[in-house]
Chains A and B, each alone.
Chain A
């Protein structure tokens, strides 16, 4: 690869980093519940994407990186979980909350879901992926996506804070 080609390649990748980082950070935050872990996860996913950049199509770069991110998080979580007989329990959700507390509660509630349900909920209802696209990202069947989404939504609805949230994001 010539120097100019390499410079062009790096420039295209740098553009991806700048454009995709906010979206990836938000997804990673919902998956990890930690800003530090989210940043670490996004950075690791971008590094892996760079190493594969020669075969990543430009129009699929964000989807590729998101798939790396979700699966990277999956595996590190799975391994960590196996190391503890009795894991620490997250704090309990509150029900009389302000908007900021509500947001924290939602992330806390997400943390109570089994990891697969959490990933499916985030990909379906935050990333707005279709069932088929979610299945492709996670490498599971559409049926498994439907099942995980159904269970995840049921769990969330059962313990959802009763107050009306001060939503600052988009509504659909």
Chain B
């Protein structure tokens, strides 16, 4: 890299950052809001303790250390669980787009390396409670997750490590923000994760998780729910991966630019006569790097795309989508990635139509939506 350019970039970033008039932030306003967050935690602690007592006899929730006033997560007692691996996430309350979202002061995730038993311990700044009855395969490869008892905005879980592009699949058209964190569970093939959502509906409608494993296969958190995927060579260094989970009405593309560049479409519908597809335009210099991808029935051939006026003509790659075990599924994926030198300013589709011949030789014209 050119040092001169880096120096110029540093100088220009400082100049750009110093340019706008930002206005000030009133410390009293922040402190007032912060106090409300703390008070709300304490209220939640009271509600959580009451709820814990109510379900204690049912067997799904154990209350321990009630009355503890520490905010420091206790070290795991190795004498009682000698093979446990533990991590702690601190201070999960947050403010998302102006909305105060309550979370525990800390959450500890313990994984017994021998049995795979998982225990989540929550602390609200005053009391501590723990919930168990979750487990993963000790050898790796499985996932478990749970909503946080007393914390309706929280999901906590254990997933394989690595689980590339670990992505939550929720209800269609979900809104709101989330914060998340992930930590490796030392000495295990797993990682712990927490996600705090601004809307409780995002938790209640959460269907599960999808991720790419170390072999490149796309997996879901539900053994009964299959994901199908195929890799396509595009403009990135590594192939992009088109993936779908039909049971969750979900379609997406993972690319090689790290988690930040993952883009997802919660594709709606029945995969009937319409053609599900996703499109993405990302500025790349003065042009736009465009990705179009989607699903056709298995066995589709002679695939012919139609593009919007001025978008040029770009051939589509096709490949059968396979499940994590390599068995072909009911879809043929199509994919194209190209540079549009005259980017559109409005979010209108690049791909306007698609035609293909099915396995029986019949020609179809797909409807894009």
The yes or no answer to A3 lying at the interface (CB within 8 A) is: no
- Interfacial residues of chain B within 11-38, with CB under 8 A of chain A in the complex: 11-25, 27-31, 33-35, 37-38
Report the minimum CB–CB distance from A75 to chain B (whole Å): 4
Complexed CA–CA distance, A44 and B347 (Å): 30
How many Å lie between the Cα of A150 and that of B257 in the bound state? 12
- Given the complex, which residues of A lie within 8 Å of B266, measured CB to CB? 82
Interface size on B, as a range, is: 35 or more
Task: Tell me which residues from 19 to 66 in chain A have a Cβ below 8 Å from any Cβ of chain B.
Answer: 21-22, 25-27, 29-30, 35, 38-40, 42-44, 46-55
CA distance A18 to B93 in the complex (A): 23
Given contacts A72-B179, A116-B258, A167-B12, is CB(A43)–CB(B94) below 8 Å? Answer: no
Interface contact A169-B17, CB-CB below 8 Å: yes
Q: How distant is B236 from chain A, measured CB to nearest CB, in Å?
A: 10
User: Closest CB of chain A to B56's CB: distance in Å?
Assistant: 29
A113-125: CB near B (< 8 Å → 1, else 0) gives: 0111101011001
Closest to B175 in A: A83
A-B contact pairs, 8 of them (CB 8 A): A54-B71, A76-B178, A100-B19, A102-B12, A103-B19, A114-B257, A114-B260, A116-B260
For B41, the closest partner residue in chain A by CB is: A51
Residues in chain A near residue B31, CB distance under 8 A:
10, 13-14, 50
Which residue, B1, B100, B282, B285, has most C-beta atoms of chain A within 10 A?
A: B285
Tell whether, in the assembled complex, residue B16 and residue A172 are in contact, meaning their CB atoms are under 8 Å apart.
no
**Please, which residue of chain B has its CB at the minimum distance from the CB of A17?**
B27
- Tell me if B365 is interfacial: C-beta within 8 Å of chain A: no
Task: Mark interface residues in B133-175 (1 if CB within 8 Å of A CB, else 0).
Answer: 0000000000000000000000000000000000000000111
CB distance from A122 to the nearest CB of B (A): 7
Q: In the complex the two chains form, is B7's CB within 8 Å of A171's CB?
A: yes
Q: How far is the CA of A90 from the CA of B287 in the complex (A)?
A: 11
B10 interface residue, CB < 8 Å from A?
yes
Residues in B whose Cβ lies below 8 Å from that of A128: 10
Choose from A38, A72, A78 the contact partner of B22 (Cβ within 8 Å): A38
**Chain B residue nearest in CB terms to A157:** B5
* Further contacts, 8 of them, CB under 8 A, given A51-B34, A55-B72: A14-B28, A46-B34, A72-B179, A81-B263, A86-B281, A103-B19, A165-B12, A169-B12
Q: Name A82's closest neighbour in chain B (CB-CB).
A: B264
B13/A40 in contact, CB under 8 A? no
The reply to whether A39 and B22 form a contact with Cβ atoms under 8 Å apart is yes
| Chain A contacts for B345, CB-based, 8 A | 89, 91
B162: min CB distance to chain A, Å: 11
Contact B20–A35 (Cβ < 8 Å) = yes
A46 touching B30, Cβ below 8 Å: yes
Residues of chain B with a CB closer than 8 A to A159's CB: 285-286
Interchain CA distance A139-B97 in the complex, whole Å: 22
Do the beta carbons of A29 and B22 come within 8 Å of each other? yes
Contact between A50 and B25 (Cβ–Cβ < 8 Å)?
Answer: no
Residue pair A27, B94 in contact (C-beta under 8 Å): no
| Residues on the B chain within 8 Å of A104, using CB | 16
How long is the Cα–Cα vector from A26 to B12 in the complex, in angstroms? 13
B21 contacts A35, CB within 8 Å? Answer: yes
Contact B343 A150 (CB under 8 A): no
* Interface residue B259 (Cβ < 8 Å from any Cβ of A): yes
User: Judging by beta carbons under 8 Å apart, are B1 and A116 in contact?
Assistant: no
Distance (Å) between the CB of B16 and the closest chain A CB?
4
Closest to B96 in A: A76
Answer yes or no: B189 CB below 8 A from chain A CBs: no
Q: In the complex, A35 Cα to B260 Cα: how many Å?
A: 22
Any B CB within 8 A of the CB of A135: no
The reply on B261 being an interface residue by CB < 8 A is yes
Q: Does B280 count as interface, using CB distance less than 8 angstroms?
A: yes
**CB pair A90 B283 closer than 8 Å:** yes
Whether B265 sits at the interface, judged by CB under 8 Å, is: yes
A99 CB contacts on chain B under 8 angstroms: 15
Q: Which residues of B contact A106 (CB under 8 A)?
A: 12-13, 16
C-alpha spacing A121/B2, complex, angstroms: 15
Question: B261 to chain A: which residues have CB within 8 Å?
Answer: 114-116
Q: Which of A43, A87, A103, A153 is within 8 Å of B9, CB to CB?
A: A153
By a CB distance below 8 angstroms, the chain A residues around B90 are 52, 55
Known pairs A14-B31, A43-B25, A102-B12; A80 contacts B347 (CB<8 A): no
Residue B315 at the chain A interface, CB threshold 8 Å: no
Residue B182 CB within 8 A of the other chain = yes
Cβ-defined contact, B285 with A30, below 8 A? no
Q: Which of A48, A76, A165 contacts B15 (CB 8 A)?
A: A165
A44, A80, A150: the one contacting B94 at CB < 8 Å is: A44
Residue B176 lies at the interface, judged by CB distance under 8 Å to chain A: yes
The answer to whether A116 touches B259 (Cβ under 8 A) is yes
CA distance A88 to B259 in the complex (A): 20
Cβ-defined contact, B30 with A112, below 8 A: no
What is the distance, in angstroms, from B155's C-beta to the closest C-beta of chain A?
13
